[in-house]
């Protein structure tokens, strides 16, 4: 069985904005033709999407070509919308979460679900976790930064502790890099350059900020293989070994904490993926795609990937499904 931990949804429609403070920042769907729509945010088309974003039968039909059997559903990251006022963010998050819950209910043998909470208000987000659990989702998706603040910031520690207490998982996705003024070139390159750095910084913040020390049973996965974290860890370890002040703040090495986190395998090259596996171990890596915005076809077919990595039968099974079930708290 192959489970894809990294796939996204967009609802077929959103509730009317009504008298919400959000105004045109509240998303809406402009259905231009059957099975095709523009996601409108702040008066512009953020992305044109197809029915596979909301139609579970279409997603299931795509699975053989994707080489997967099941998917973990999470919102298109821009829809997490931390720029909205907290109450509007809660309402939007509930719509996303309940949409995903219905999609899971329509085919529970094919889908698992991660919802959305208003991280722009850490206490409100913490309280919303009970709603996430109550509608049967396995956890939530969050951005790598919350309006410029890292997930490892002490402000979010009660949220992380509540997720740990409730047994909910957290999938972290890069979005809105905080250093866009330093990204040069064609705009889409900002994604290619900014997202890996965002992932690395967010993962490092959980490590050096003490979150994984305080929440040893917290299940967190970083998309896109944790970005540049694998390259950062050797220098972080060296500093931890040499500096008493750093060693005093962490009882284990940064790499030891990194091995408590989960990662998908979206690395686009075998050497990069091999480095991730050598760094954190085969027990922490899962299959991902970023479907429907990217495809597994952009990466080597899984049998070729597994052969190139020299994985054992046990490691193949773990990466294919076992690790994902552990991340979701289902094994």
Q: Which domain holds residue 194?
A: 75-327
Residue 147: pLDDT band (50, 70, 90) is: very high
Could you tell me if residue 309 is inside a domain?
yes
CATH number of the CATH domain containing 102: 3.20.20.140
Mean pLDDT in residue range 94-103: 98
pLDDT, residue 190, reads 77
- Give 11-79 as a DSSP string: -S-----TT-TTGGGS-EEEEEETTEEEEEETTEEEEEEEGGGT-HHHHHHHHHHHT-SEEEEEE-GGG
Could you tell me if residue 28 is inside a domain?
no
Rounded to an integer, what distance in angstroms lies between the CA atom of residue 283 and that of residue 319?
7
Checking if the pLDDT of 228 tops 80, the result is yes
Could you tell me if residue 244 is inside a domain?
yes
pLDDT, residue 297, reads 79
Average per-residue pLDDT for the chain: 96
pLDDT, residue 52, reads 98
Could you tell me if residue 27 is inside a domain?
no
Could you tell me if residue 3 is inside a domain?
no
Could you tell me if residue 140 is inside a domain?
yes
Checking if the pLDDT of 3 tops 80, the result is yes
Could you tell me if residue 289 is inside a domain?
yes
pLDDT, residue 188, reads 74
The residue with greater pLDDT, 187 or 143, is 143
Task: Provide the domain count of the chain.
Answer: 1
Could you tell me if residue 16 is inside a domain?
no
Mean pLDDT in residue range 23-39: 97
Rounded to an integer, what distance in angstroms lies between the CA atom of residue 54 and that of residue 259?
34
Mean pLDDT in residue range 307-321: 97
pLDDT, residue 140, reads 99
Residue 186: pLDDT band (50, 70, 90) is: confident
Residue 191: pLDDT band (50, 70, 90) is: confident
257-295 confidence digits (pLDDT tens): 999 999 999 998 999 999 999 999 999 999 999 999 998
pLDDT, residue 320, reads 98
């Amino acid at each position: 069985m192959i489970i894809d931990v990294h796939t996204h949804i967009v609802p077929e429609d959103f509730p009317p904005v009504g008298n919400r403070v959000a105004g045109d920042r509240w998303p809406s769907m402009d259905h231009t033709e059957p099975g095709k729509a523009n996601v409108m945010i702040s008066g512009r088309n953020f992305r044109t999407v197809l029915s596979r974003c909301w139609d579970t039968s279409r997603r299931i039909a795509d699975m053989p070509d994707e080489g997967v059997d099941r998917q973990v559903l999470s919102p298109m990251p821009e829809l997490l919308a931390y720029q909205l006022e907290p109450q509007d963010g809660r309402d939007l998050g509930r719509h996303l979460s309940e949409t995903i819950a219905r999609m899971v209910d329509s085919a529970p043998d094919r889908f698992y679900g991660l919802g959305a909470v208003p991280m722009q208000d850490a206490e409100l987000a913490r309280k919303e976790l009970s709603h996430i659990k109550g509608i049967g989702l396995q956890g939530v998706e969050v951005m790598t930064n919350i309006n410029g603040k890292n997930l490892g910031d002490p402000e979010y520690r009660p949220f992380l502790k509540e997720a740990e207490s409730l047994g909910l998982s957290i999938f972290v996705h890069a979005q809105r890099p905080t250093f866009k003024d330093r990204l040069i070139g064609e705009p889409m390159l900002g994604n290619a350059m900014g997202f890996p750095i965002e992932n690395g910084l967010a993962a490092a913040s959980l490590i050096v900020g003490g979150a994984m020390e305080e929440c040893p049973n917290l299940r967190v996965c970083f998309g896109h293989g944790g970005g540049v974290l694998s390259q950062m860890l050797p220098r972080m370890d060296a500093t931890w070994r040499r500096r008493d002040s750093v060693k005093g703040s962490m009882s284990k090495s940064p790499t030891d904490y990194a091995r408590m986190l989960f990662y998908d395998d979206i690395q686009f090259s075998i050497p990069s993926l091999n480095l991730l596996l050598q760094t954190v171990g085969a027990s922490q890596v899962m299959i991902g795609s970023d479907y429907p915005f990217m495809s597994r076809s952009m990466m080597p077919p899984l049998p070729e990937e597994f052969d190139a990595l020299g994985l054992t039968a046990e490691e193949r099974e773990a990466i294919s499904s076992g690790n994902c079930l552990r991340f979701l708290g289902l094994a």
